[in-house]
A and B are shown apart, each in its own frame.
Chain A
């Protein structure tokens, strides 16, 4: 990493000085970015990290002067190689866009034009800025597609966006951005909407590509792991301000701002064995624009706040070479460790009766699509049957958590819906306490329906926007039987206390709550029915890391006090590892590996688990990760590969046997099962000869 630093030769490509951005709103001008200054040198990748609402995207939009109509730059200047962009006319600015500053956007499938071929979307940039002819521009586009490692650029270029996967589209956007070798490249969460295996491949690509360009990069993300993996320097944004800046080593290893330290503690780590302990949380909320305190922006939530902090705001000051902080008590960071309780608080362990299976799914299948219609048959088209869930069996012991992990499209949500009875399984059965359940909710008794509850990923869509949240939470209680009004109120208030929401929130409407608060309401509603099973379908995925941490703690506490059984579904291995007792890894509608959380995360792995594991960017610059990358995207569930369904992407494929025969289940001991042709001893040897993740995790412990 340090060799990159030397590439920056002191001349700044981008220099932002005292930038402020304000939005016109009903209550006047609201500042959303205040007094931000930073410099990015040639060939340098500058990471800007912050939670949602921290103003990082607004900052990027201000740099390219593409703010919404009600937004304006209220102060400061933006210099690109010495030219003040804020003085340029709109027409001049348009000549800067694409030529000198290029952008890669968050959601690739939304950022490409659906009705233009992807090759043309790269070629047009070459025509406009490089003055190439149609034919030359097309050649240039093919060249760029090859550079971003898209297979067969000639045919790829003629495809339309809907024919490409998200990872391929992000390559197209990167290709389009690099056509002109711009001076500055802004990447706004370029991998956030991608699956973790695809993210890893794209991050590799970005790292490798940038080696060959002198481009300065402003890399925006909320993901600390990504920052540690691709950036040279990092700036931490909080509520519209830059609160800390330094090299990756400095910020990740010797942070000088309490917020940064808190943020690092919030992230569940894949490489550190920490089950049974609390994640850090940062108390309180990000102050909203218009409600910023007079003093330090973080004062209200800071564990080492003193009176002086509340009175005056510290500017960003260089305290060590290249390391800037806005904290006046930067010398006392050790106290933050103590105050945030980074001394691992132990989570209450459950006393479980071992072996008693509470929830069981047996060979559950869900196939979508119907028999071919007369028309498809007449036209000799293939009928499309989507085998979303293709035979999943698992057991959950009472009061334990079974984690289900896999990439998007692997069938985990469909499986969850089959268990709750929202979908009727094509085959298989679900048992609760040994009793077989009706195949859909309509065939289940009210008592059974009460027993199994679900928390959905998106609380915005799962709470009725017209009902006060107290009503939503009270509804499952009234369904169980009539209660006097006062008794109901009491119970609802108790539930709100249990999920750490103020009791007076009961009368609020969902839109008056933040995302994390809404998800707390959804959790309270699930517990209101006193269920024995709760299915958590990506309950924290749409939330910020600090909010994620407090919700995961909450889920763990509620489980301990109510002895609830969880099915915890997530694409986030770290979150699954943090909460689960047992883990099932799903690929294309089937389980490929299953075992206790500890055993699944230690060799021998199923090759798919191994790849998932190595794809996760670890927020620690000192950890060296083995690079195991998967080719392409998950195949369509309409055309499931023969034999081992993972063979098309498996980096450890042994040969024809993988294509022809379904692999056997192998028992690695302690109820740890792996479905693979490779003998376990051999898998273990291969995986140990690479980096042993456990060994890594030991070395990473402070």
Chain B
């Protein structure tokens, strides 16, 4: 098990490292001359040369990358190219906000998705399963900005149940912010809900058809006990992976949903950075998202190992 976790951890770190290279290349090398970007097209060649020297842009790319990565890992995420403030406190504050939104979304779609999937599986090929399958299919296919706008149009504007705009004070606490979190959380949840429900349905149907589910039935174990003790324990294994991977999806979805609702989170900060060509900000936001994505996957693998005795007790 230790070896298993270590190997996974190594792979995830490697993934993050590769992603960091891509981010670095995309933000620092490809846009051409960063000094040009900062000073604008009317800058004098001498000023540009000065800035290049100052930023270390004359060094070889590999050295630049190593330097950048080292500083990033040690917590020096650089200063904003637009405002000049340090990027790190800003990104971390917005990360907190996004995290609040993610928690609400997560606790919405995980239990609901599993429940819908199990209900559909137990009633496989009956009317209720068909309805649920069609519904989850729609959820998966619906882009966040469409579902977001529909939610705003109905729940907020027509029925006035919840606020349509979530552009709250970035420093609000959770309780204060909660009413503003619900709509965007639902909007992000739908896609993930669809995935979780469909995965749960598929794997639960497989397990319900397995020999050991039949054997459990024919032992005379009460139906509910068969479902919870024998079936779900095995059928939720693939779901665990999907749930953990969906955390990455979630943070991807944030970029759109936070913009639609005007919510001050990491996603909106990233969009802001892109709009203003604030390369340092883009780098920091992307690296945070990549790291979250990576560790969500690690969590998935570890959970899978803990739940699956074949891995928990494996020699290799």
Contacts and interface: CB of A to CB of B under 8 A. Distances in A.
Interface of A: 64, 66, 94-99, 101-103, 105-107, 110-116, 124-125, 128-129, 160, 162-163, 173, 176, 375-376, 379, 381-382, 384
Contacts of A160: 309-310, 313
Contact of A111 (B215, B233, B307): B215
Nearest to B230: A113
A379 B2 CA distance: 9
Given A163-B313, A379-B2, A128 B212 contact: no
A116 B233 contact: yes
A176 B220 CA distance: 12
B6 to A, nearest CB: 7
A116 B229 contact: yes
Given A110-B210, A111-B212, A97 B217 contact: yes
A120 to B, nearest CB: 9
B56 to A, nearest CB: 35
Given A111-B212, A381-B3, A97 B308 contact: no
B315 A115 contact: no
B218 interface: yes
Given A116-B233, A162-B309, A384 B218 contact: no
Nearest to B126: A69
Nearest to B229: A116
Contacts of A107: 211
B221 interface: yes
19 contacts: A94-B220, A94-B222, A95-B220, A97-B220, A98-B219, A111-B214, A112-B215, A113-B233, A114-B234, A116-B230, A125-B220, A128-B220, A129-B220, A162-B313, A173-B215, A375-B3, A376-B3, A381-B3, A384-B315
A163 B210 CA distance: 20
Contacts of B307: 115
B7 interface: yes
Contact of B223 (A94, A128, A384): A94
A125 B225 CA distance: 12
A122 to B, nearest CB: 10
Nearest to B124: A69
Is chain B's binding surface mostly helix, strand, loop or mixed?
helix
The 9 closest A-B pairs by CB, nearest first: A98-B220, A97-B220, A110-B211, A98-B219, A160-B309, A111-B211, A111-B215, A113-B212, A103-B218
B310 A128 contact: no
Nearest to B215: A111
Contacts of A102: 218-219
Given A103-B215, A110-B212, A381-B316, A115 B233 contact: yes
Interface in B2-51: 2-3, 6-7, 10
Nearest to A94: B220
B86 interface: no
Contact of B310 (A98, A103, A162, A376): A162
A112 B216 CA distance: 9
Contacts of B233: 113, 115-116
A375 B215 contact: no
Nearest to A108: B211
Of residues A102, A106, A114, which shows the largest number of chain B Cβ atoms within 10 Å of its Cβ?
A114
Contacts of B210: 110
Interface string B213-250: 01111111111000001100110000000000000000
A314 to B, nearest CB: 35
A96 to B, nearest CB: 7
B310 A114 contact: yes
Size class of the B contact interface (CB-based, 8 Å): 20 to 34
Interface string B277-314: 00000000000000000000000000000011110010
Interface of B: 2-3, 6-7, 10, 210-212, 214-223, 229-230, 233-234, 307-310, 313, 315-316
A375 B6 CA distance: 9
Contacts of A129: 220
A162 B221 CA distance: 23
B7 A381 contact: no
Contact of A128 (B215, B222, B234): B222
Given A111-B211, A111-B214, 4 more contacts: A64-B218, A94-B220, A98-B219, A162-B310
Contact of B221 (A64, A96, A128, A376): A128
Contacts of B219: 97-98, 102, 124-125, 128, 176
A162 to B, nearest CB: 5
Given A116-B229, A125-B219, A105 B214 contact: yes
Contacts of A113: 212, 215-216, 230, 233-234
Nearest to B6: A375
A382 B316 CA distance: 9
A185 to B, nearest CB: 11
A635 to B, nearest CB: 15
B6 A98 contact: no
B243 to A, nearest CB: 18
A97 B212 contact: no
A105 B221 CA distance: 17
A125 B220 CA distance: 8
B7 to A, nearest CB: 6
Nearest to A103: B218
A420 to B, nearest CB: 29
Nearest to B234: A115
A125 B219 CA distance: 7
Contacts of B2: 379
Of residues B214, B219, B307, B316, which shows the largest number of chain A Cβ atoms within 10 Å of its Cβ?
B219
B209 to A, nearest CB: 9
A384 B316 contact: yes
A62 to B, nearest CB: 13
Nearest to B125: A69
A465 to B, nearest CB: 22
Nearest to A109: B211
Contacts of B217: 66, 94, 97
B220 A115 contact: no
A116 B221 CA distance: 14
Of residues B215, B217, B221, which shows the largest number of chain A Cβ atoms within 10 Å of its Cβ?
B215
Contacts of A375: 3, 6-7, 10
B48 to A, nearest CB: 47
Contacts of A94: 217, 220, 222-223
Given A103-B215, A111-B211, A115-B233, A379 B220 contact: no
Nearest to B10: A375
A95 B221 CA distance: 8
Given A163-B313, A375-B3, A381-B3, A114 B212 contact: yes
Nearest to A120: B229
B89 to A, nearest CB: 38
B225 to A, nearest CB: 8
Contacts of B222: 94, 128
Contact of A66 (B218, B309, B315): B218
A112 B212 contact: yes
A129 to B, nearest CB: 6
A108 to B, nearest CB: 9
Contacts of B309: 114-115, 160, 162
Contacts of A376: 3, 316
A105 B229 contact: no
A648 B229 CA distance: 38
A384 B3 CA distance: 14
Nearest to B214: A66
Contacts of A381: 3, 315-316
Contacts of A106: 211
A98 B230 contact: no
A115 B311 CA distance: 11
B87 to A, nearest CB: 36
Contacts of B229: 116, 124
Contact of B220 (A96, A116, A162): A96
A112 B218 CA distance: 12
A379 B223 CA distance: 44
A165 to B, nearest CB: 15
B253 to A, nearest CB: 32
